[in-house]
């Protein structure tokens, strides 16, 4: 069971063996508490994610998805009401600009944002670039009084990376396989 702290910036470390069920639990936990959710999917196409959520009984009607995967394989993604498509999980500037536009126009609607998963971004960008980017957007969340949960696979997160993330995160939460 995920015990998410009431903090602004949380790093969530998930073992790969419980990743899918933990993501669903996290989504359910936040969407039931906050009623709305902003969800950046950096590792799975939104159609797959929506299917998983539907099968788990999670309502997606109040979730705005930002999908950075689908356009890599489909030149013209489907026209979905609650989805914004980005070019790639490596497009950090595009992710930042899209985040800013959404948060500045939403009137405080999205109190929490999930970024699933920054381990994918590490396949495209250096750890240093990812840390700089997360530091920048964490400051944005703090200034706007919003919360963010940055998901990483535990196996992809070395101690050096975690020390750097600890400098600007309020808490690093490690989910155990048997929880």
Largest CA distance in the chain: 41
Confidence category of residue 121, pLDDT binned at 50, 70, 90: very high
The four Cα atoms 83, 41, 149, 173 give a dihedral, to 10 degrees, of 150
Across residues 20-49, what is the average pLDDT? Answer: 95
Range 9-174 has CATH code 3.40.50.12160: no
Cα separation, 105 vs 69, whole angstroms:
24
DSSP string, 94-143: HHHHHHHHHHHHSTT---EEEEETHHHHTTTS-HHHHHHHHHHHHHHHHH
pLDDT of 58: 95
**Count of other CB atoms within 10 angstroms of residue 14:** 28
pTM: 0.95
| Res 179 pLDDT > 70 | no
> Of residues 159 and 136, which shows the higher confidence score?
136
pLDDT of 158: 80
For 58-114, write each residue's pLDDT tens digit: 999 999 999 999 999 988 898 999 999 999 999 999 999 999 999 999 988 999 999
pLDDT of 178: 73
**Domain range annotation of the chain:** 9-174
pLDDT of 75: 85
pLDDT of 157: 84
Cα separation, 169 vs 64, whole angstroms:
24
Confidence category of residue 177, pLDDT binned at 50, 70, 90: confident
Instruction: List, in order, residues 6 or more apart from 124 with CB less than 8 Å away.
Output: 88, 89, 90
Structure tokens at 124: 């495209």
């Amino acid at each position: 069971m995920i015990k998410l702290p009431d903090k602004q910036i949380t790093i969530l470390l998930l073992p790969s063996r419980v990743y899918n069920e933990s993501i669903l639990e996290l989504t359910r936990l936040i969407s039931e508490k906050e009623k709305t959710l902003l969800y950046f999917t950096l590792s799975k196409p939104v159609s797959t994610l929506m299917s998983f959520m539907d099968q788990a009984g999670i309502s997606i009607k109040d979730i705005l998805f930002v999908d950075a995967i689908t356009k890599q394989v489909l030149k013209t993604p489907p026209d979905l009401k609650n989805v914004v498509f980005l070019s790639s999980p490596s497009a950090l500037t595009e992710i930042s600009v899209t985040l800013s536009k959404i948060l500045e126009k939403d009137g405080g609607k999205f109190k929490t944002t999930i970024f699933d998963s920054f381990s994918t971004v590490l396949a495209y960008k250096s750890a240093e670039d990812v840390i700089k980017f997360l530091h920048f957007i964490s400051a944005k969340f703090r200034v706007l009084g919003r919360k963010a949960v940055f998901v990483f696979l535990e196996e992809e997160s070395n101690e050096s990376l975690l020390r750097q993330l600890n400098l600007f995160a309020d808490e690093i939460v490690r989910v155990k396989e048997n929880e």
